[in-house]
Structure 1
């Protein structure tokens, strides 16, 4: 059975992502989460004690943060969701971008992994990569700076 802390972690991951629905089945536990829309009943196959998990209204979808102009120069490209940031498409592969690379708004700068799902992150602006600030394979928070770009 999932603990309240584990369910809270799942809710934070979904809230900070572009996903609108999650279905999880573990043994007798069946959990369905949806952003927006009407709440659906779920069945755990187990009794939830009084004072246990309480239904909450769905959270509005999180807006994707826009690039922020940094005081040190360039624009900071923020993480659109919480997860593990990867510089390359797979271990041992060349990174998506390096400092000095020219990028377009739709250039993939990295991947954020959330619950084994890989989410490509685009630069959002055209320019030259100044610095990659988020470490490879580390957890990043929603809105945390991933890279800095000097706009063209």
Structure 2
């Protein structure tokens, strides 16, 4: 079983109404489960922190603190697959740079195993940049568009 096949199985589990998937193929067996409680990402590593003695900190009044700037707003890939900017080859793209988008508007497609999943805007805004090329392979969570 190759890595791309395992990724497809993980994607399938993510979009299916089941919590466990077990597949046996060619003497190789894989079991994927989805837990109900949030857990740390397996890609995250624990890094030891040096022991530092605490320093006294004076609390500033809440009104004196500057407002926190919002994080960069991006639209990300919903799953692993091949990203498409248009509904079919040769057709106009769903969105272009400078175009306003509304919440829920379709902005692209991700194709995995001949199944097309719509990429939808999660917030309203204006497309500031397209971050991936048409036909590029993307992972779930890959930033696709930056919004202004």
**Shared fold, TM over 0.5:** yes
Q: Tell me which residue corresponds to 2:60.
A: none
Q: Deviations over 1:89-111 (max 9, x none)?
A: 00111100001111001111100
- SS of 2:137 mapped into structure 1: strand
Conserved? CA contact 1:102–1:129, under 8 Å: yes
* Equivalenced residues, count: 115
Instruction: Indicate whether 1:115 and 2:133 are aligned.
Output: no
Q: Deviations over 1:30-72 (max 9, x none)?
A: xxxxx41575x87x7xxx5xxx3134242459x9xxxx933xx
> What 5-or-longer segments of structure 2 have no aligned partner?
39-69
1:37 and 1:105 mapped to 2: Cα distance? 31
Q: Tell me which residue corresponds to 2:28.
A: 53
1:57 and 1:107 mapped to 2: Cα distance? 32
Q: In the TM superposition, what are the counterparts of 1:1-152 in structure 2 within 5 Å?
A: 4-5=1-2, 8-16=3-11, 18-20=14-16, 35-37=18-20, 52-60=27-35, 69-70=71-72, 75-150=73-148
Conserved? CA contact 1:104–1:125, under 8 Å: yes
Shift of 1:78: 1.2
1:11 and 1:144 mapped to 2: Cα distance? 18
Shift of 1:16: 3.2
Residues 137 and 13 of structure 1, relative CA distance in 2, 3 Å threshold: same
> What 5-or-longer segments of structure 1 have no aligned partner?
22-34
Q: Which has the larger radius of gyration?
A: 2
